[in-house]
Amino acid sequence: MALTPLPEALERILATAVAVPEQEQISLGTAMNRYCAGVVHADIAVPPADNSAMDGYAVASGDVPGTLVVSQRAPAGTAPTPLVAGTAARIFTGAEIPAGADAVILQEDATVESDRVSLPGARPGQHIRRRGDDIQPGDQLVAQGQRLRPQDIGLLASVGIDTVLVFAPLSVAVLTTGDELREPGSGELGPGQIFNSNRLSLAAQIRSLGMTVVDMGNLPDDPRQIGEALEHAAEAADCVVTAGGVSVGEEDHVRGQIEERGALDIWKLAIKPGKPLAFGQVCGTPIFGLPGNPVSAFVTFALVAKPWLIRRQGGCAVPSPRFPVRAGFALPRPGTRQEFLRVRLSGSGEAMRANLTGSQSSAVLTSLSEADGVAVIAPGKTVAEGDWLEVIPLSAL
121-151 confidence digits (pLDDT tens): 999 999 999 999 999 999 999 999 999 999 9
pLDDT tens sequence across 195-219: 999 999 999 999 999 999 999 999 9
At a CB cut-off of 8 Å and minimum separation 6, what does 154 contact?
none
Q: What is the mean pLDDT of residues 54-83?
A: 97
Looking at the chain, which residues constitute the CATH 3.90.105.10 domain(s)?
Answer: 29-43+135-167
Q: How far apart (Å, rounded) are the C-alpha atoms in residues 221 and 253?
A: 7
Query: Where do you find CATH 2.40.340.10 in the chain?
Result: 323-396
**DSSP H helical segments within the chain, as ranges?**
6-14, 150-158, 198-208, 223-236, 254-261, 294-300, 306-313, 366-369
Task: For domain 6-21+169-313, give the CATH number.
Answer: 3.40.980.10
Region(s) of the chain under CATH 3.40.980.10: 6-21+169-313
Distances in whole angstroms, Cα of residue 231 to Cα of each of 198, 211, 258, 284? 21, 20, 9, 10
Q: Where in the chain is the domain with CATH 2.170.190.11?
A: 51-129
Instruction: Tell whether the model's pLDDT for residue 247 goes beyond 80.
Output: no
Spell out the long-range contacts of 2-8 with Cβ–Cβ below 8 A and sequence spacing 24 or more.
2/268, 3/268, 3/269, 3/270, 3/275, 3/337, 4/266, 4/268, 4/269, 4/270, 5/269, 5/270, 5/338, 6/269, 6/270, 6/271, 6/303, 6/304, 6/338
Please tell me the predicted confidence (pLDDT) of residue 332.
Answer: 94
Output the pLDDT for position 21: 77
Please give the Cα distance from 189 to 196 (Å, whole number). Answer: 11
Tens digits of residue pLDDT in 341-387: 999 999 998 889 999 999 999 999 999 999 999 999 999 999 999 99
For the domain 29-43+135-167, what is the CATH code? 3.90.105.10
Mean pLDDT of 322-336: 95
Look at domain 323-396 and name its CATH class. Answer: mainly beta
What confidence tier does 251 reach under pLDDT thresholds 50, 70, 90? low
> Is 80 exceeded by the pLDDT of residue 77?
yes
User: Into which CATH architecture does domain 51-129 fall?
Assistant: Beta Complex (2.170)
